[in-house]
Structures are given as C-alpha cells and as structure tokens.
Amino acid sequence: MREVYLDNAATTRCNPQVARLALELMTEDYGNPSSLHRKGFEAQRRLRAARRQLAEALGCREEEVIFTSGGTEANNLAIQGAVAARLRLGKTLVAMATAHASVLEPLRYLEKQGHTLRLVPPLPDGSADEAALLEAVDGDTVLFCSQLVDSEVGTVAPVAGLSRAIRRKNKNVYLHCDAVQGLGKTAFSAARLGVDSLSVSAHKIAAPKGCGALYLRRGARILPLCYGGGQEGGLRPGTESTPLACAFGEAAALALGNMEENSAHVKELREYFVNKLVKIPGVCMNSPPQATPYICNLSVPGYRSETMLHFLAERGIYVSSGSACSKGAASHVLKAMGLPPERVDSALRVSFCPRNTKEEIDVLCEALGEGMAALARSGKGK
C-alpha cells in the first residue's frame, strides 16, 4: 500500500541528511559540551555552530538562542518565566483564543494562581482581530501572546504591527510569539517582529523530535522554571542534547536556503488541492485564501472527522482533524471562529511539505469522495 502523508503540521519525516548528522553526534562527537577535555570541546564547538545556524534562520544574535526540548517547553519557559519576573507590574495576560495548547494551558495555570486572562476570539475567517487584541491590553497587562501561523487553519498574524501598537499603549508588556508553524515556511525576523521571545520546534522542519528553541531578546528578563547547572544561560539547565541541537541547526539552515523554492511548490500544491475540492459536493473550506499554503483546513458536514480519518488511514492516507496535541478533541480554533457544530465535528486538516506531490493530492481527493459515498451507504458517517 502506498503511503500518502499529509499531516506535516503535526510532525515531519526526518530528512536523511539531518538524521545522519544526529547519528554522527551520538556515535562519534558524543562528548558532553560542558566537559573540559577534547571530546567536550568538540561537542561545544558543534553546539555553537548549531546555535549560529538557528540564529541565522531566526534573524537574531547567537546569544539570543536557548535550546529546549521542544516548542511546548519554549512556550512554558517564556510565559511562566516572564510573568514570574513581572509580578509587581500587573496581573493581566492577553492572548489569541486560537493559540496552541502549549500557550493556553500555561496561561490557564497562571489564571488559577490569581492572574486575569483575556482570550480574544479571531475574526470569522480565523485571522487576528487586531482592534480587539489591542483593546484587551491595558495598564495592568504584563504579557501578550501571539501566534505567527495558526496551527489549524494556517492564518498568519500581523505580529510586527501588533507589537508596535502594544508597545505604544503599554511599554511594560512582555511580548511572546509562538512561531512553531512559521519557521522555514514564512519569512520573518525575530528582531523585526518586535517581540521579547519566540518559540520554534525541530520536528516541524524535518529534524528529530525532542528539540526546540526559544529566542530571547537581549535585555528581556525571564526566570527559569527549573534549576541545576548553568547551561543555556542558566535558563534551561541540564546537559544539552548536542545531536538534536545540531540536527535542528542543520534542518533550519536547509529550510532557510530552500524557503523560496519550497514555498512556491507548496503554494502550487494548495491551489491544485483547492481546485479539486470545489468539485466534491458538500466540502467546505475553513482556511481563508490568504492563509499559509502549508495548511488547508476543510469540513465535510455529515461525516465525523474521526470516522473519515479512519477510512483514509485504512488506505494509507494520513491527515488529521486538528492539532496533534488535541488528541481528537473538537477544534477550539474552529469554535472560536464561530463555525457551526457540523463544520467543527467534520473538520480535516491537510498539511503539506515540499516532498508532497499532485499525485498524492489526487489519491486523497479520490479517497475522500469514496469515503463520503461509502459512509453514506453504511450510515457510519455520523
């Protein structure tokens, strides 16, 4: 059975070149980068090179990159660390209601600790409601969280503009951006976005799972979540995973170098996919036309997401119903957009990578039509 993998927003297949580099670091240059001998010095040299690669991809200084275990840890470190460092400046936290769970859950934890949380819904097409977000910020606000690219419908937020407007309104607000779905796919510079911190993840760009990074603007202050050695500026203590960090750096360099070519290919795939979808009666598009081409969210009302996912998976076709972290729960993003329950309950997220082809889209669309017919006949769609 041929495998058609179209769930790249959840995770990507590791690039063989990147995987070989990680293996080399695990079996040859395997020293502890903190050790004061040749093996340690070599590991430290390789780790520094990876930090430079990631800094170039993020558009920041090398010393502003902190390696973490992934996007979730990076978000938690920024959010909880920033609030802990600003307890005297205010108690209000503002974020997009469509934020990823790794942003929403630490915010809800802080709300239980006595902070005020304001979650701002998007506009009906899923894009950021800039006026409402700015209005939610007041003199008591200490943290504002944005999302560069929405992980479910692919909308791209005007982070730089929001940052400037918020700074004018309250210069003490700490600005954090979740850019996990943007790295290597959407051109940006952490410095030009005007944020204090920004999170990214390795396994979204064909590197191994278990590694991420936090951009922390020079001069921005956060407190660590755990304590130990002095690694990563004391903010993320513990022996660094040199193999994963170096693999991440290599993948980031490859993504940066091929971004224009990859984006053109994926844009062509998305247009081809949308043109095929409109010929399937009953299919509704949830992603707006201006969304990133890498993510396409659709609904097939009358056919539950889980049922259709199983039908497609039995044929070797892999998509999702939303963020992998939601584990099948109804999309909070589509709910926040105000979509009716039948659209939310039947949503499918198709997410592309540069390796995908039009032939794979043909296979998906044919199977989608077959699934609708088969499930309608069996009465198992609902």
Among residues 259, 316, 339, 251, the alpha carbon closest in space to that of 293 is found at: 259
Length of the chain: 382
Strands 197-201 and 212-216, bridge-based pairing: antiparallel
Q: Which residues are catalytic, by number?
A: 325
Give the start-end residues of each E strand in the chain.
4-5, 65-68, 92-96, 116-120, 141-147, 174-178, 197-201, 212-216, 284-285, 295-299, 317-318, 347-351
The encoded tokens of residue 56 equal 């170039």
Rounded CA gap, 99 and 348, in Å? 18
Q: Cα–Cα distances in Å, from 244 out to 109, 171, 338?
A: 29, 36, 40
Rounded to whole angstroms, the Cα distance separating 200 from 273 reads: 28
Cβ neighbour number for residue 125 with a 10 Å cutoff = 14
Nearest to 353 by CA among 247, 264, 266: 266
d(CA 156, CA 354): 19
